Amino acid sequence: MKRIVKNLLSAFLVLTLLLSLTNAATAAANQAVMVGPSVARFMANGVDLTKLPPSFALLSRPAPTGAIAPEWKVKVEFVSLPASYSVFIKTGPGTSLYGTGEIAGPLLRNGRSTDTWNSDKPQYTAKNKHLYQSHPWVLAVRPDGTAFGVIADTTYRCWINLQNGIRFTTRGRAFPVYVIDAASPQAVVMKLGELTGYMGMPPLWSLGYHQCRYSYYPDARVRQIADEFRARKIPCDTIWMDIHYMDGYRIFTFNPQRFPDPASTNQYLHDHNFHSVWMIDPGAKKDPGYFVYQTGSVAKVWVQDKNGRDFTGSVWAGPSVFPDFTRPETRAWWADLYKDYLAKGIDGVWNDMNEPSVFNVLRTMPTTNIHRGGGDFPEGDHALYHNVYGMLMASSTREGSLKYKPDNRPFVLTRSNFLGGQRYAATWTGDNYASWAHLQYSVNMVLSLGLSGQPFSGPDIGGFGGPGTSQMFARWFGVGAFFPFCRGHADNHNIQKEPWAFGPAVEKTARTALERRYRLLPYYYTLFHEAVTDGLPVMRPLFFADPADAKLRDEEQAFLIGADLMVVAQLSEKADHVHALPKGIWRTFTLVGENPAIDKDQPELRIRGGAIIPLGKVTQNTAQKSLDPLTLLVSLDADGKASGTLYEDAGDGWAFQKGQFLLTTYSATTKDGKVTVRIDRTEGSLTRPSRKLVVELVTDKGVVKAEGSESAPVVMEARN
């Protein structure tokens, strides 16, 4: 059956391409308007924007600001066929294509095709055309380093074909296309963030290491895992609870034997400076005695089938019903379910199975199911709302967290999402596998998600499925410590995969990797503040260092953290990759005494010439004081100068929105053989802590250290 469907889809795409070549395409000038200084909107003739479904990707559809400028470069063609709608954008020779969201395979997407249909695909490969999330978005980088990006503003199933230019094809309704044209890929991604919305500032603890398993139970096992981290002095901030904590897999319940007192479990974790994240799926067991099913049925919140009956599908709890998140009443009901749940001391929420995944031949709901909508959302079938089901669930979960833990920043992790979903939740790359191929996929997927607007993502470090090997696990931990979201996870049928599970040598590798991350957390927190402010990803492709350098376009085993830190990894078993690295000054350094020249499991780190990177101490968790001393890692440029920033706030809560933060810009200058490091400027009203300052000047010959305080410039000898 799957092969027949696949062949039919392939035939459909071929037919669409052939017809598009013979059909008279509508010229790009059709309903083409500027909607901002670098953004244009295109629609085919006869399409009425007011009659289309609302945009889920964009914060709001921008209003026209004028006609297309004569010098506008990107041309858009439309082909309207009886059973489909297609858009084509021609790309010039040497144009590199990226984006398309969460998909396995190479970073460079030229010649590839993607199918935007959120799907539960455990142990996926590069052959899978669609995974858990949909991002109808392509970033194009021209040979000269200028760039443009294209949004297909549709939630319907959409085929993105990059074999000859950029083509979006859907069997749904017509849709507008938004094109961003700018001087660099960074500028395009920043504009994408402005259009689709920025993520919220995360709590500091969510940037630490997370430990998960499907599942840790009973509660004594959770405490044991926490104790092991502290006894072994391996940094960790969060322990996760998968579905085995529930009573018969009923969401918002706790198994009376395994977790008789969840509040006590959470208090134990809090007492040991851990946080907790607990899983909630969308499917509610169809059980008349179960309060979620009872209250939901009274409120008529469930998705309906084509005949108007509550749709029933089988998931972990057996026959279950599913909330219709297009209804405002459903979203309010869902948010209120978190009142008693979060009151038990739960810190974060994990939304899983929300493609939605359903255990039948379709693996999801029939497209004929009905969502009744309300407010801004029209009534529509599941074909319209499938790709945003998980996004709407994550949004409703975030609202519940804001309502019932108003003093804390929400942390929501979602498996399913859509373009723009970074507004509501972080994400991970789903049920991956312990293989060298998946280690490589993980880097490319996180980079692609970042280029598609999602700064906060990461894979299951070590692989969710399959045992893997000790060497692979160590290598994955070495690079995994640098992902924006850093979590280890494993299947319940798998071997143990805690950092110590493979013996003392691998444990040492994992500890060193996490100590490196925790020293860098002040820099990461600053980068997340940047992502919240301008939409740039935390983890960036290497070509961001020099967009016009063609040799960087497909480098997949080195990447950037922010603009100033390069991570040079070895992701194959042989560790023999020859990297294409950017020109200019990039000096190597170490953080905790690691030696990447000998230990290939620890990526080599390089700092950009002209950069200052803030570092903290090695801590076991983010509750410990990190920035006393504050270390500034300084690498001078060819003119003997450098600069960098440090963002600080309380780490949680909302005082930063009222000015209670400290954004410090540090500068370094050289004169008469002396390097002077000082505060250049500050923002925010947070009182500066009294603390020791250590300056580490990274040179080609080694590191020069000096100590002082932030109250006066630090002057040290230069070394060439």
Q: What is the CATH number of the domain that holds 333?
A: 3.20.20.80
CB atoms within 10 A of CB 638: 9
Question: How many Cα atoms occupy the beta-carbon half-sphere of 637 within 13 Å?
Answer: 14
Strand partners, 676: 669, 715
- Does 294 share its domain with 361? yes
- Does 18 share its domain with 150? yes
146 neighbors 160 (Cβ within 8 angstroms): no
414 neighbors 351 (Cβ within 8 angstroms): yes
Residue holding tokens 């089901």?
A: 389
- Does 164 share its domain with 283? no
Tell me if 445 is assigned to some domain. Answer: no
The span from the CA of 664 to the CA of 686, in Å, is 11
280 neighbors 253 (Cβ within 8 angstroms): no
Phi, psi of 693 (to 5 degrees): -120, 130
- Does 183 share its domain with 326? no
- Does 184 share its domain with 278? no
- Whose CA is closest to 536, among 461, 450, 639, 465? 450
- Amino acid 263 reads A
User: Would you state the pLDDT for residue 81?
Assistant: 76
Catalytic site residue from 153, 181, 237, 355: 355
218 neighbors 80 (Cβ within 8 angstroms): no
345 neighbors 338 (Cβ within 8 angstroms): no
User: Would you state the pLDDT for residue 7?
Assistant: 44
Tell me if 497 is assigned to some domain. Answer: no
Distance of CA 206 to the CA centre of its chain: 13
Tell me if 517 is assigned to some domain. Answer: no
User: Would you state the pLDDT for residue 361?
Assistant: 73
416 neighbors 430 (Cβ within 8 angstroms): no
Domain count, the chain: 3
User: Would you state the pLDDT for residue 718?
Assistant: 86
User: Would you state the pLDDT for residue 720?
Assistant: 57
User: Would you state the pLDDT for residue 30?
Assistant: 75
Give helix 470-480 / helix 436-451 axis angle, nearest 10°.
20
3-state secondary structure of 226: helix
- Does 255 share its domain with 391? yes
The span from the CA of 535 to the CA of 528, in Å, is 9
- Does 177 share its domain with 255? no
Indicate the residue among 410, 437, 457 that finishes a domain. Answer: 410
- Does 159 share its domain with 262? no
The span from the CA of 156 to the CA of 340, in Å, is 36
- Does 248 share its domain with 186? no
Tell me if 91 is assigned to some domain. Answer: yes
276 neighbors 245 (Cβ within 8 angstroms): no
Which domain does 379 fall in, by range? 243-410
The span from the CA of 406 to the CA of 401, in Å, is 7
| Pair of tokens at residue 16 | 């669409």
In sequence order, which residues have a C-beta less than 8 Å from that of residue 34 and are 6 or more positions away? 40, 41, 64, 65, 66, 67, 68, 69
Give 14: exposed, middle or buried? Use CB within 10 Å, 0-12, 13-18, 19+: exposed
Residue stretches of the chain with pLDDT short of 70: 1-29, 720
- CATH number, domain of 709, equals 2.60.40.1180
Tell me if 480 is assigned to some domain. Answer: no
118 neighbors 389 (Cβ within 8 angstroms): yes
Tell me if 211 is assigned to some domain. Answer: no
Catalytic site residue from 352, 460, 507, 604: 352
- Does 39 share its domain with 185? yes
Q: Is 355 assigned a catalytic role?
A: yes
- Whose CA is closest to 301, among 386, 367, 396? 396
- Does 191 share its domain with 255? no
DSSP state of 25: P
Question: In whole angstroms, how far apart are CA 134 and each of 158, 448, 674?
Answer: 9, 12, 53
Indicate the residue among 356, 385, 410 that finishes a domain. Answer: 410
User: Would you state the pLDDT for residue 15?
Assistant: 41
Phi, psi of 332 (to 5 degrees): -70, -40
User: Would you state the pLDDT for residue 172?
Assistant: 79
| Pair of tokens at residue 435 | 């293989």
The span from the CA of 61 to the CA of 49, in Å, is 10
Q: Is 556 assigned a catalytic role?
A: no
155 neighbors 384 (Cβ within 8 angstroms): yes
Give helix 470-480 / helix 504-534 axis angle, nearest 10°.
30
Q: Is 340 assigned a catalytic role?
A: no
Tell me if 509 is assigned to some domain. Answer: no
In sequence order, which residues have a C-beta less than 8 Å from that of residue 238 and are 6 or more positions away? 205, 206, 208, 209, 210, 211, 274, 275, 276, 277, 347, 348
Give 291: exposed, middle or buried? Use CB within 10 Å, 0-12, 13-18, 19+: middle
The span from the CA of 605 to the CA of 584, in Å, is 15
CB atoms within 10 A of CB 442: 25
The span from the CA of 424 to the CA of 396, in Å, is 9
Strand partners, 320: 285, 313
Question: In whole angstroms, how far apart are CA 161 and each of 110, 120, 555, 665?
Answer: 9, 22, 22, 44
**Would the CA dihedral through 485, 487, 492, 495 be positive or negative?**
positive
Indicate the residue among 385, 410, 435 that finishes a domain. Answer: 410
Tell me if 613 is assigned to some domain. Answer: no
* 3-state helix, strand and coil shares in percent for the chain, rounded to the nearest 5: 25, 25, 50
Catalytic site residue from 115, 324, 399, 431: 431
- CATH number, domain of 126, equals 2.60.40.1760
Q: Is 651 left (phi over 0), alpha (psi -120 to 50) or beta?
A: left
209 neighbors 237 (Cβ within 8 angstroms): yes
User: Would you state the pLDDT for residue 83?
Assistant: 80
The span from the CA of 253 to the CA of 247, in Å, is 6
- Does 118 share its domain with 19? yes
- Say what the pTM is: 0.95
